[in-house]
Amino acid sequence: MATAAVPLDEATHAGSHEISFIRKYIFSTDHKIIGIQFMLMSLIFLLVGGILAAMIRWQLGFPNTSMPGGGILPETMAPGGILLPEFYNSLVTMHGTIMVFFAIMPLLVGVYGNYLIPLKLGAPDMAFPRLNMASFWVAVPAGILMMAGFFVEGGHAAAGWTVYAPLSADPEWTGVSTGQQLWLLSLAVLGLSSILGATNYITTVVNMRAPGMTWFRMPLSIWALFVTSILVLLAIPILSGAAIMLFFDQTIGTHFFDALDGGQPLLWQHLFWYFGHPEVYILILPAMGFVSDIIANASRKPIFGYHSMVYAIIAIGFLGWVVWGHHMFQSGMNPTLGTTFMISTLFIAVPSAIKTFNWMGTMWRGNIRFHVPMLHATAFVAMFVIGGLSGVFMASNTFDIYIHDTYFIVAHIHYVLFGGSLFAIFGAITFWYPKMFGRMMNPFWGKVHFVLTFIFFNLAFFPMHSLGVAGHMRRIYDPTQYEFLQPLQPVNTFISISVFLLVLSQLPFALNFILSWFNGAKAPDNPWDDNGLEWSVPSPPPHGNFKETPTVYRGAYEFSSPLVEEDFLPQNKKLDSDPEPAQAAGH
């Protein structure tokens, strides 16, 4: 260690001097504070999205009855507590939008991209700390714009989170004008925040790694965040461009998506999904990365097939660009394209299966510690397999004719987004909470939260598969109005009750999160006996992270190594047999 000690640059030292409260906690340039800011913001949005989901389920489970507490909503949303169809459309739209763009995506990329990348790579901060601050403070107005839509005349955007044109392009059809415009503006602004963030992450990963942290020693979470950042960087501008065109269609009378005057409604779908499918992997790749770290740690074994994991991440990242048409099989697009997209989509099963088998190979005959993060990680693997298998079904052009736009799709997306991403997020939060806040979360209530969430999640979403196969359309206001769906109403009621209990099950987590912040047991530097560089610094790490730039001698997964007595071998621990890495001086 000592031989590798180099002085940190001035900027880092300057930061450790006293700085005002506002500079330290509000307009902070410290990547750790910004990560926590993102976490608080996106957890609030997760709560909002969950409440919207509960309202949707009330209408579906108990159609046209007065919703408990619905009386506080204004007449334009729910007269007498009964949700209006127009408001129901807004609910469906905003549940999807908020969950995807303001909850899951910032939780995965905003929080852990910020928090983990410099810490795990041995850097004092991001490459551009001020840009990093800007990225958060651009995301906040985007969130405010998005929430403002609920309060404007005509209600919030109601064309679905995919805002298909022409439905979204003209207020004539949804009755919404201002709400839809705010929606589009908000996403354009949020896009800027994401692009600034991704620029920062990519530059940091490429240029700021500590000596010895070669590409193939990087933890899989960093690999996943790196590939995700590339996807964010290149996919989000497509959405921004498309959103701006749709915004102009609404405001200054352009005709991009207006078939009457030379536009192409299908172009919106192509652009949206050209962004949208990489977005799907933006929402799952970091989750896969965190789960890989947690599973290796809890199994006390090196990750099985590290290189194949890395190549699988890269392969998924690339394939994400050539499969967008599988969202559009029934849109009337060119059938030749449909077949092409079906084949390319089926290819994705290969890297996904590689990852799944590698996780199982890691756990196989491991001395598994079932701590709370590990419980969530195993749930991730199981739920991802279910969601992934229904995904393989849907990739088939012909099967999709039958199940498209039904609850089968809803079940699939929730198995990968909630069962996949959100379980991984819970795992990541519980795993890195000690490092972020310097306190341990209560393991008992963590387990209670996990068990309840796992049970009610499956009770809520698994029956949706059968609803979908029975022909239950997604996004309908009142299923009982169709005779063929009336026998299925008890299933709907069952799902709704499960969803309410699922929302309630988050209470132990919320309380655990808040109370542990103040009252949790003091966290040691390395509570999980992990190898990553972030565990070699105090919890929480000081401004500037490392007293001296660490030197890295091995990958992040040297568990149960015969070379040392403990069953873990930190990346920066020098053994006598380790050669000094060929260091590169900066410029």
* Site of interaction with another protein (CB under 8 A): 4, 6-11, 124, 127-128, 131, 195, 198-200, 202-203, 206-214, 233-238, 240-242, 244-245, 248-249, 252-256, 258, 261-264, 266-267, 270-271, 274, 321-322, 325, 333-334, 336-337, 549, 581, 583-587
User: Cα(227)–Cα(250) distance, rounded to whole angstroms?
Assistant: 35
And the tokens for 397?
Answer: 């052009």
Cβ atoms of 572 and 119 closer than 8 Å? no
Is 337 or 563 the residue whose CB approaches another protein more closely?
337
> Which residues have CB under 8 Å from 522's CB, separation 6+?
438, 439, 440
User: Cα(180)–Cα(196) distance, rounded to whole angstroms?
Assistant: 25
> Which residues have CB under 8 Å from 23's CB, separation 6+?
none
Residue with tokens 């701590």: 371
User: Cα(505)–Cα(472) distance, rounded to whole angstroms?
Assistant: 27
Q: How far is the CB of 143 from another protein (least distance, A)?
A: 21
> Which residues have CB under 8 Å from 6's CB, separation 6+?
548, 549
Is 10 or 576 the residue whose CB approaches another protein more closely?
10
Element (DSSP H or E) covering residue 335: helix 335-363
Q: How far is the CB of 229 from another protein (least distance, A)?
A: 9
**CA torsion through residues 422, 424, 430, 433, sign:** negative
User: Cα(238)–Cα(96) distance, rounded to whole angstroms?
Assistant: 19
Q: How far is the CB of 322 from another protein (least distance, A)?
A: 6
Give 109's DSSP letter.
I
User: Cα(36)–Cα(23) distance, rounded to whole angstroms?
Assistant: 15
Residue at 399: amino acid letter: F
User: Cα(545)–Cα(123) distance, rounded to whole angstroms?
Assistant: 7
Is 431 or 546 the residue whose CB approaches another protein more closely?
546
Q: How far is the CB of 392 from another protein (least distance, A)?
A: 22
Cβ atoms of 139 and 103 closer than 8 Å? no
User: Cα(12)–Cα(300) distance, rounded to whole angstroms?
Assistant: 35
Cis peptide before 166 (omega within 30 of 0): yes
Is 196 or 294 the residue whose CB approaches another protein more closely?
196
Is 241 or 305 the residue whose CB approaches another protein more closely?
241
Is 76 or 207 the residue whose CB approaches another protein more closely?
207
Q: How far is the CB of 586 from another protein (least distance, A)?
A: 3
Q: How far is the CB of 340 from another protein (least distance, A)?
A: 8
User: Radius of gyration of the chain from Cα atoms?
Assistant: 24
Q: How far is the CB of 310 from another protein (least distance, A)?
A: 16
Is 241 or 471 the residue whose CB approaches another protein more closely?
241
Strand partners, 522: 439
Is 109 or 127 the residue whose CB approaches another protein more closely?
127
Q: How far is the CB of 334 from another protein (least distance, A)?
A: 5
Q: How far is the CB of 212 from another protein (least distance, A)?
A: 7
User: Cα(554)–Cα(213) distance, rounded to whole angstroms?
Assistant: 8
Q: How far is the CB of 196 from another protein (least distance, A)?
A: 8
Is 155 or 219 the residue whose CB approaches another protein more closely?
219
Is 189 or 198 the residue whose CB approaches another protein more closely?
198
